[in-house]
Every structure is written in structure tokens, then in C-alpha cells.
Structure 1
């Protein structure tokens, strides 16, 4: 068993016990070795300001990153910041700003206000599609490009005009969007939209756990708008086939995305690889604007992508941000529940994405759980979920996680 440190707290990694777990965790362990090796010399205490470090992009991941310090007016991180990515649900920021252009939130109908709330808090696709169809589709993007002076943003390709999530967007343009929201938009608009982003729900309306990246890496205060595309399920709830396929504003199967990319030319935005993006503001006074866009190898699971964008985000120099205390530990298995107490009979808070890395605050004895040939009565407290998971699904060889205190 090996203990290594990471800029988001301690990371535990180990060889698995027995043949039952070996196959399940092989990919996870490989990723841990690749992505934590360069972080071993940069650990800092939990719940402390983040150090000035270079963005650590995990192996196999294509990233676009920008971090802007509003206090100094400078970027602290820029990696491929002009690179264009398909926006996925991050474009919902532009959709909402367009609805509110020259209009106060108080002037919205109750129905439209409810749509914006669920679109930003729960990343609801139906609400976004309604606004997209009603307000001119791609013309929304054209208007916002002109209004905000965006340089890398473009409407979806002509082959897929209804796919609002295929809007091209870069990390540096995303910083411009947030800077407008914070510094130029009317106060009522700013407070309303940021208020929704501060109330981002862990489980999105399509059953995906959306508290990755910024939301998992830093303590509040933060406000986030996340995006994902190209995954079949994402924890929180059992996947609903009808919902899981409705990504990017239409039924967007991977084969269709590949065809669209070919039709649009070699330099087109990648519509095929799984995408996971985390954007928002962090720290007191919304000091830092953070935009992290990522593409992952075809076939990457949601839990793996979730873990990789988390590690990348934790490596960033984000002025004003602090990190949560605890130890990051890999998990294995499918459908692992987080419960209110250390028992299998207590209420289920949520379901973890398969194989995701979790932050463990402490551990205690609870109900004995059996997963042949293993038996374990230790449970891990997960502060970011407000509950417990059985240690039997943590990727460590002992029943207890080494170095983690007893609750």
C-alpha cells in the first residue's frame, strides 16, 4: 500500500485484495499512478489557501483551463485557454443571459423564472431546449458573441442546429461570460443568476452527479455551472434510458457526433469524445473565476472522468479558494450508496458514480457488510455528501483506511 499526496488533500492508493477486485480496479490504479506522481511534492495542509502551481492535466485528457483573479485582474492559470470545446450545458449561461438581456428578473413570468431556476440549479435540458427553440436557436449564441465580445464562441454546426450543447466555447470566453455577469450586468440579474448557481444541486435533473471539479475541490462559497456529454450514466439515480440519451439538446448518440465532426472538417469542435466541464466563481467576494474544459478518451466512465477533472481542478492556483479537509480515496463497484448512518438500513442519500474518487473525513465502526469473500464493519464518513459509505468499496487493502482518523 502506498500513500501519496495531492494538491487537493491526501490521496490513498493501493493494490487490491484478491482476484475479485483486481480486474475492477486495474484502470483506476493505473490512472492514480499517472496522475498523482507529479503531485507528490506539492502537498499543503487541508483547509488552507491553494499554492501557486502549474495545472496538472491527467494523462489522456485534453484540457482547456483559465483561472482569473478578479482582485489583481490577472490570470493565474491558462492552459489551451483559447481551445474550442463543445459547451455541453455550460451554454445555459448564455441562454439565461439572453433571456434577461434588457429585462429584469422581476419581469419574468413565473413559468420562465422556474425554467431558469431548474436550468441553472439542476442543469435541466428541457428548460434549455424550450428557451433555445423560442428565442432563435443559434441566433442566441450570435447575439451573445456580439454583446460580450466573445472570440472563440460559435453556434452549433449547421448539421446539428438543434443541439445547443454543440455550441463552441473556450475557457477564456467563459471567463468573459462570468466577468460580464459579475461586473457589467445589472445587479438584479447578477444576484439572480449567481444565486441559482450557488444552489447547484448535487443530482442534476437527468440523474448525473454534477458536483465534480470546482464543487468537489473547494470549500464554499462557490457558484458553478457544469457540463457533461457522451456518458451513459452518472450516479445519483438509476439511469433512465429516455433521459440518458437526451444530451446536448437532442438525442445525440456518439456515432452521430462522429459523423458531424467529419462533415464539419478536420478543424471542427470535437463532438465525439466524452466531455466534462466545470465553470464558476470561487472564494469570498467571488474572487476567482475558474473554467475547466476536458475531453476524455472514448469509453471513459463517468467516475473516471469525474476523478480526473477533480484532480486537475485541485491542482490549480485559485486565489481566495480553500480546500476541504480529508483524504481522497478511490472506490470500486457499481451502485455504491451513501447513507445517512453507518448501516445498510438507513436512508440512501445518493449513489456514487462507478469507480469515483471520494473525500473521506473520518471512519467508524457500524453495521457489518459482506461482499464475498470480504467482510467489513468499518464505514467512511464523506463530508461532501453528508453521509457514510461502507469501507468495503474503498480501494484500500485493510478494513480501515490508513491515516484516516476515527470519528
Structure 2
């Protein structure tokens, strides 16, 4: 009897594109919950700015996705309750705090909610909050503080975006984007379905692409897939 070949694991992707001129949203599985990785850092920045004021740690947290800065601000702003408060304030539908309150990267989000976060920043947030966060995202750097290359997705597929990336489950970078990558925090080394996300604004659109990849997928392969998908969903838009 012939043996059936095992199915090849594939990338799971959800995405949403919001047109700020026509006010229309298009996408796929826009309400699918997925762990946020570093996208939650935007919520951390919103909470800090709206309740405690500006802080020098916001800049590295957003521009080079610094985890130490995020961890400190996460604790100072109430751990998981930060997510509860911001989700309620921004009227997010699918966002939930992590089961273990110290693991901020395991906050649940959806493409729909990440679009709503950007819409809040652009349409409803106080000018200082908007300028601070979007200003840092417009100046996001190629190399993250942990050695990963942040140039996949929106910065590779579109022109001059403001962007925030997310990644989780890839171990340490095979080819560090900086000379001396900072050691990764131990609880971030969970390797369930490596996650790679790109989000931000380009021209008149808000774009969110969230992906999970089969275990063992390299960062480079996942980044290429995310960039290709971003090119597809932003075609003729950005």
C-alpha cells in the first residue's frame, strides 16, 4: 500500500488594509487572534504617553524595537492591565492580555485591531501622542537592538512607510544586523510557530500583515514571504 505524503506545513497569514480616503477595509481573516510579538509596543507607548507622559525609553522601544525598554515600561504601567485598559479605551475587539503577565509579546491581537490602533493614533489621539509615536515609527531603523534586520515587509515593499515590526520564535539572528546583538530575554525563547509581522502606514493606507510560520523556518525565509505578501496587498496603494 502506498504511503501518503505528509502535508507540507505552510505559512498562516492574516492581513488588513485600510484606505484612509475611501474609509474601506479589505483583508483576510482580519479578526484572527495571533500573538503580537513587538507590535504590542505601540500599546505600551500609548499607555505611557497618555497616563504618565513622555519617556526616553519610548524612542528605542519603537525605533529599534528594544525589548529591555519595553519590559521596563510594561511593568511600570501595570503589566497585563495595560492591555486591558488600552483595549477598552481604543475599543479593540480581539486584543487580549497574555496568559502570563510577564510575557508581553504573547498579547493577542488581530489585523483588524492593529489597524484600529493606527487609526486611533492618526484620528483620535492627542497631537503630542500622535507626533511622538508616528515620528519614531517614521524613523524606525534597519537594525533592531537584538540584531534582527527590520527591513522586511513594508519598508521593503513600499515607499517611506512609518512602520513597526514584530518577530518571535526565531532564536538568535544567524547574521546579526548589529555588531554586538543584545542577549535575548530568556522567556522570549519559546519557539512555537515563529511569528513575523509588519504594520504601519504608507501614503493613504494603514497596512497590517501578521504571519505564523512552520517550526524551523528561517528568519530570512519568513522575511521574504512577508515582503512578498506585503507587495501583494499594497499593490497600487503605496
Q: Corresponding residue for 2:162?
A: 223
Cα distance, 1:188 vs. partner?
Answer: 1.6
CA–CA separation in structure 2 for the residues paired with 1:291 and 1:233: 25
Cα distance, 1:319 vs. partner?
Answer: 5.6
Kindly indicate whether residue 69 of structure 2 is the aligned counterpart of residue 137 of structure 1: no
Q: Which residue, 180, 188, 194 being the options, matches 2:128? A: 188
CA–CA separation in structure 1 for the residues paired with 2:237 and 2:87: 29
Kindly indicate whether residue 227 of structure 2 is the aligned counterpart of residue 307 of structure 1: no
Cα distance, 1:189 vs. partner?
Answer: 1.3
- Where does structure 1 differ by over 6 angstroms across 4 or more consecutive aligned residues? none
When you count helix as a share of all residues, which structure comes out higher? Answer: 2
Q: Which structure is richer in relative contact order (CA contacts within 8 A, separation 6 or more)?
A: 2
Q: CA RMSD in A?
A: 1.7
Q: Which residue, 137, 152, 160 being the options, matches 1:212? A: 152
- SS of structure 2 residue aligned to 1:315: helix
Cα distance, 1:66 vs. partner?
Answer: 0.2
1:233-291: CA deviation from partner (whole Å, max 9, x where unpaired): 33313675x62x42xxx52333xx6xxxxxxxxxxxxxx100000000001xxx10000
Q: Corresponding residue for 2:189?
A: 253
1:14-68: CA deviation from partner (whole Å, max 9, x where unpaired): xxxxxxxxxxxxxxxxxxxxxxxxxxxxxxxxxxxxxxxxxxxxx8110110000
TM-score by length of 1: 0.54
Cα distance, 1:320 vs. partner?
Answer: 4.1
Which residues of 2 match residues 95-134 of structure 1 at below 5 A? 95-101=44-50, 107-108=53-54, 112=55, 114-134=56-76
Q: Corresponding residue for 1:178?
A: 118
1:198-231: CA deviation from partner (whole Å, max 9, x where unpaired): 01110001111011100110111x1001000011
Q: Corresponding residue for 1:80?
A: 29
CA–CA separation in structure 2 for the residues paired with 1:294 and 1:82: 13
- SS of structure 1 residue aligned to 2:132: helix
- SS of structure 1 residue aligned to 2:16: strand
TM-score by length of 2: 0.91
Q: Corresponding residue for 1:164?
A: 104
Q: Which residue, 233, 255, 259 being the options, matches 2:172? A: 233
CA–CA separation in structure 2 for the residues paired with 1:223 and 1:320: 15
> Which segments of 5 or more consecutive residues in structure 1 lack a partner in the other structure?
1-58, 258-271, 322-407
Count of paired positions: 228
Q: Corresponding residue for 2:197?
A: 277
